[in-house]
Structure 1
């Protein structure tokens, strides 16, 4: 039987240059953002040092038929390092047809995605992204046909869908009730309303989703997770920036104040890429300087007493010409938050045996889970060392 957490947590998995992030709430709501699961992958360039599927199958609740369920899966964008093996380990199709051959596949109760996936030519998508789009189309058709379990707006467990970002795409007409554009909050996940957690959608903005010339990375879903633990005010903020580039972030900064973009935890965009800091090629001579507005953003709050963390979901960062991850980009992040608060997932706690980086959210801000506690998978919620003063961001 799955043990219910007594607290809200986020786990960042070591999956190389890719993203796999699990938000687990204390009512046992589980939200997975992207998956780069290399287990049994046919890609010889992808190495798996941590078994993400074992973690998920142990963690997730099961129904009366012993089928594992995930409340929400969010695909930030359809590149392979964000959806690798989704169709092998997650169930795609009518949940009523789940059979013995599907055993141990995870049923996704609700799918979230950007409209951009429907702007892509199928030939431009990898097989996992094609299967994801097919499943999205199935769920959208159910919604449009009004085949809900309770009413037209609820297609039921295993059939629910939500679109993140507005669009003029004809395939997505008449879906306003299940569309959340940039600039809005969401606090209902798999038909469960949350009192102490919500997402604020930072991107993609409409111009990005409908411009067919835009790269997928520029159309990535970008979310701000806000927690108000034991409070009416926000006291934990995590920004999940997907594969955004400087162009995306400058637009976001034009729409949001620095105070509203202040974070406790920031996921370094595109696996610690240089192109979050500049449009210029990092190989140019003279060496390009980082954009001043981007530096201002990551350093905002630097002089406060609050600990701020930056997480790089990437392979080992080396002093070479790789991008991503980019060595110089990592140094700018370290300067902004302190070297001890910058985490490369491939080397946490060491490169030979990486484990998930887990934070628990408290009224005093996020607390990193002890390494030994993380290794005792699903044992109990960690003991919290409570800080002296409750933390607050104040009302938006």
Structure 2
């Protein structure tokens, strides 16, 4: 059985996808809870993941993705992960990363601090060496960085995935899951000009297949309303409405503060028309299903377990 685990962290994110074939994909790592404060009910991510990996007899995550470099998505990474770039941050119970997934912003950012800085250096090291990394971007967005490193874009193009593509690696056939990339993306201003948008935020749809039934997870990281609206409009313009379908949606934790509309109401914020379609107008997805002749479930299937945290009683539907 596939399992999705969403750790209750308040204003922070950590999500674990455990697939039936034994692979584990971790997205973001925010060890923000105070272990010395009994009143802090947030999940103790470090301890819970250590116990989980011990129960699996593993020391490696097949994929670790960071949707962006803010501390509420990276805090504590320096003590939890094995960094190939730094011998001083290896061994001693640290967990290895087979493939690191990051948006281009985590490569080109110049002012990263703390955990984000270490992760940037790890990502750059892997990209320089040409292994164990996937960067989400248009290749041209990284042109200046590659030039400064004396590396040709062509020699690393197989490690870069643009929006609108399925990420290489896990497939529905081999692992029961695939990842469709929504962001970062390039917005075509005219025939000659493409502007990179939301370069610091990785958003995607994970599609699971169990016994011929498809179940979709939409992971929106901290995408703000302007970029989310653009993602929806671009995807629909390319007639990929099914890639916006969700049975489970991880909404941006900033919610109505930044993720629904520029204008905020006193007690209720009205989303843009596109965001309202994504979250509220579910009838449209029935048309998507019929049009594409795909088998969807309008709710979580019994083949996927959904849990809030290992320390909290989970639930399945």
Distance, in Å, in 2 between the alignment partners of 1:298 and 1:58 is: 35
1:82 aligned partner: 73
Alignment partner of 1:205 out of 181, 185, 188? 185
2:114 aligned partner: 127
TM-score by length of 1: 0.62
Query: How does 1:97-136 map onto structure 2 within 5 Å?
Result: 102-122=91-111, 125-136=112-123
Aligned residues: 288
Distance, in Å, in 1 between the alignment partners of 2:14 and 2:129 is: 28
1:280 aligned partner: 263
Alignment partner of 1:185 out of 155, 163, 166? 166
1:127–1:192: structure 2 CA closer, same or farther, 3 Å change rule? farther
1:345 aligned partner: none
2:271 aligned partner: 290
For residues 333-392 of structure 1, the C-alpha deviation after alignment (integer angstroms, 9 at most, x for no partner) is xxxxxxxxxxxxxxxxxxxxxxxxxx8762xxx554599x97589xxxx9x77xxxxxxx
For residues 40-99 of structure 1, the C-alpha deviation after alignment (integer angstroms, 9 at most, x for no partner) is 689x9x956322222211222699xx872111110101111111111121111259x588
1:277–1:106: structure 2 CA closer, same or farther, 3 Å change rule? same
2:224 aligned partner: 245
Distance, in Å, in 2 between the alignment partners of 1:220 and 1:41 is: 29
1:41–1:360: structure 2 CA closer, same or farther, 3 Å change rule? farther
Alignment partner of 2:31 out of 37, 40, 51? 37
2:44 aligned partner: 51
1:94–1:370: structure 2 CA closer, same or farther, 3 Å change rule? closer
Could you tell me which runs of 5 or more consecutive residues in structure 1 were left unpaired when the two chains were aligned: 1-6, 144-154, 309-358, 386-396
Distance, in Å, in 1 between the alignment partners of 2:88 and 2:113 is: 24
- Whether 1:142 and 2:129 are equivalent positions in the alignment is yes
Shift in Å at residue 289 of structure 1?
Answer: 3.5
TM-score by length of 2: 0.76
Distance, in Å, in 2 between the alignment partners of 1:370 and 1:35 is: 15
Could you tell me which runs of 5 or more consecutive residues in structure 2 were left unpaired when the two chains were aligned: 147-152, 189-193, 287-295
For residues 190-249 of structure 1, the C-alpha deviation after alignment (integer angstroms, 9 at most, x for no partner) is x998342100001110359x979x7x7x73101100012122xx6100100010011112
1:126–1:94: structure 2 CA closer, same or farther, 3 Å change rule? closer
Shift in Å at residue 281 of structure 1?
Answer: 4.4
- Whether 1:162 and 2:151 are equivalent positions in the alignment is no
Shift in Å at residue 292 of structure 1?
Answer: 2.2
